[in-house]
Chains A and B, each alone.
Chain A
Amino acid sequence: GQSLEQPSEVTAVEGAIVQINCTYQTSGFYGLSWYQQHDGGAPTFLSYNALDGLEETGRFSSFLSRSDSYGYLLLQELQMKDSASYFCAVTNTDKLIFGTGTRLQVFP
């Protein structure tokens, strides 16, 4: 079977740093993506890791360890607008397989 596990919910305060973990078990793996989805909105692409290591894009960074089937999204200098759901997704041949998402709530 194929599964991606993420925490269901994470809370943090403005200005803090939060890490959202994702472990996966899939048949076939090309890379790990992260998407953000605000309530009622469409998912938007944040980052992609095909190789082990850290990718940084502004306040957001994403990490991948292929040997551990593990990745994380790191959000720094949290802002209220970062309150959203975050999904990891495995690239598997011709499709993305999404996790169930982590709801991040940022408090003032």
Chain B
Amino acid sequence: GAGVSQSPSNKVTEKGKDVELRCDPISGHTALYWYRQSLGQGLEFLIYFQGNSAPDKSGLPSDRFSAERTGGSVSTLTIQRTQQEDSAVYLCASSSPGTGIYEQYFGPGTRLTVT
């Protein structure tokens, strides 16, 4: 079946603009995660959605970042008033109820460049 998809694959934006990044998880996966990966670095947890529960937003770096998940499926990560330090690859992952959070399936990521 189809894996996790993300769009756009690349996004170049000017400092101060808002951007929206989209994630389409694997069908049937109830958990969805957003991570940020700077060049040569590990993955930084941003936010976690599980079913219809309130999301865990503990990793969002500032109030410029927000995310929503509609209908328990597609998710959008929004960054307002982008800054140059927001430049990174934004990865989305999903996991199924059967395997738990330790086995996550990642999308190809969105490379965000803020100029």
Contacts and interface: CB of A to CB of B under 8 A. Distances in A.
Q: Determine chain A's interface SS by DSSP, over half rule.
A: strand
B42 A95 contact: no
Contacts of B77: none
Given A42-B91, A87-B42, A87-B43, A96 B102 contact: yes
B25 interface: no
Interface stretch (B14-22, B80-88, B104-112): B104-112
Contact of A95 (B48, B91, B109): B48
B103 A33 contact: yes
Interface in A61-101: 87, 89, 91, 94-101
Contacts of A97: 45
B103 A95 contact: no
A41 B44 CA distance: 16
Contacts of A99: 42
Interface stretch (A13-21, A43-51, A52-60): A43-51
A43 B103 CA distance: 11
Contacts, number: 58
A31 B108 contact: no
A94 B103 contact: no
A41 B3 CA distance: 14
Contacts of B50: 94
B6 to A, nearest CB: 9
A50 B103 CA distance: 12
B102 A44 contact: no
B111 to A, nearest CB: 9
A43 B43 contact: yes
B101 A91 contact: yes
A25 to B, nearest CB: 15
Interface of A: 30-31, 33, 41-45, 48, 50, 87, 89, 91, 94-101
Given A42-B107, A45-B102, A98-B42, 7 more contacts: A33-B102, A42-B109, A43-B104, A95-B48, A96-B45, A97-B45, A98-B44
9 contacts: A30-B102, A43-B91, A48-B103, A89-B102, A95-B56, A95-B59, A97-B45, A100-B41, A101-B42
